[in-house]
Amino acid sequence: MNRLVSALEAGRFHFITFENKGLMRYLNLVVAMLLLFSLELSAGISEAGTSGPTSIPDFTRIVEARASLKNAFVGLNKISFDYKVALPDDRAAVLAPIKALFAGMLAADTTGLSDLFHPTAQLMTVMTDEQGQSKLRQTAIPAFIQSLSRAQPNQLREELCYFEVRIDNDLATVWTPYVFHFQDKISHCGTNAFQLARTGEENSWQIIRITDNRSPEPCPDYSDESPEESLDAFATAWHRAAAITDAEQFFGSMADGAIYIGTDAGEHWTKKEFYTFAKPYFDKGKAWDFTARERHLFVNPDENIAYWDELLNTWMGPCRGTGIVKRQTDGSWKLLHYTLSVTVPNDQIKAFLKLGE
């Protein structure tokens, strides 16, 4: 008991361990407080002259240790839940200054834009010169905001594909491909890489750095359709490509490291292996025609990873399929993994099992 109190007095306690360090510290303090409360009750009983363990440490030491822990607990209670994974509220708070920046740019309204940036914030651009060499250009934040004030409303529009958000404690990064329009004409495109810190008033997020680049490739046409709509269109078009034996579109829709799992136990194919198996059928104009009669779509909050499951009409009868895709910088999807399986009605499962005997 004396060792326990000494450890609690010194703040050396570790009862619960997991990845979320802030919440772990918080819960360990709760456990420590409960232990001290138990010790205090026991010590109080002994001091009162009733029966109790003779090894209970000095009552005063317990009270002082409890007071010390209480102060730590109260202080941590104010900040501990800032240390967590990117829950929806965190994500919205991180994106708020970024969305406010682009809203002000579109409206040509610079009111309050400087408050979105930390005083030491930087704006960097990675560019390629006429000789093909990469150059880094820095623009002062006040100069950047002043340039926006000279624009007309709706003159500067930055179209964003998606937001890929990462949060660790008081640091966040946001990766977002973009197409920049000037007077409704495409000027250039590339990717924005934002860094933010929770340093503002009332513990708000501020931009500490923006680094963007200029893509040498033709700018993508980001449509207004939702991620779910584009995902559904992708899945339909992929199956359609097999039906019309368009090998270029079918296999071009798959990432280089994609995996296709067929209905046979031995059909665990890389893209190259699947291509080798299927190409002769495509060449003969006799591939397969799968159409979805039911499909469920799921997109992650960053809108860059998605999957779907579907019930298909096939020549084998009803089949189940599941696909996983990743968003590309140009906004398109690439298939990472697809699994196809034959369905077996429950009332026919015994007969099905006999087939394997």
Residue 84 pLDDT > 80: no
Instruction: Evaluate whether 335 touches 254 at the Cβ level (below 8 Å).
Output: yes
Query: Higher-confidence residue: 250 or 200?
Result: 250
Residue 306, CA distances (Å) to 175, 179, 184, 230, 262 in order: 17, 22, 31, 11, 20
Contacts for 292 with CB less than 8 Å, ≥ 6 apart: 235, 236, 239, 310, 311, 312, 313, 321
Rounded to whole angstroms, the Cα distance separating 179 from 217 reads: 12
With both helix axes pointing from N to C terminus, report the angle between 2-10 and 59-79 in degrees, rounded to the nearest 10. 40
Q: What is the pLDDT of residue 202?
A: 78
Exposure string (b/e) for 55-87, b if CB count within 10 Å is 16 or more? ebbeeebbeebbeebeeebeebeeebeebbeee
Tokens of 236: 């339909």
pLDDT over threshold 80, residue 74? no
pLDDT at 5 over 50: no
Q: Which residue has the higher pLDDT, 27 or 148?
A: 148
- What's the token pair of residue 321? 């399929």
- Rounded to the nearest 10 degrees, the angle between the axes of helix 21-47 and helix 2-10 is 140
Q: Is the pLDDT of residue 198 over 80?
A: yes
Show the CA angle centred on residue 49, arms to residues 47 and 55, nearest 5°: 60
CATH number for the region 88-213 comes to: 3.10.450.50
User: Do residues 304 and 176 make contact, with C-beta atoms less than 8 angstroms apart?
Assistant: no
Write down the pLDDT at residue 354. 85
User: Is the entire prediction scored with pTM above 0.85?
Assistant: no
> What pLDDT shows up at residue 167?
95
d(CA 210, CA 193) in angstroms, rounded, equals 6
Residue 165 CB burial class (10 angstroms; 0-12, 13-18, ≥19):
buried
Does the pLDDT at position 190 exceed 60? yes
pLDDT tens per residue across span 22-62 = 455 545 555 555 665 565 555 454 444 444 444 444 545 55
Residue 193 CB-half CA count within 13 A: 8
CA distances, 322 to each of 82, 110, 229, 237 (Å): 36, 47, 17, 15
Q: Which CATH architecture has domain 227-348?
A: Roll (3.10)
Report yes or no: 100 and 204 within 8 Å, Cβ to Cβ. no
Work out the average pLDDT over 152-177: 93
What confidence tier does 99 reach under pLDDT thresholds 50, 70, 90?
very high
CA distances from 209 to 83, 212, 252 (A): 22, 10, 36
Reply yes or no on whether the pLDDT at 18 is more than 80.
no
213-242 pLDDT, tens digit per residue, is 988 778 877 767 789 999 999 999 999 999
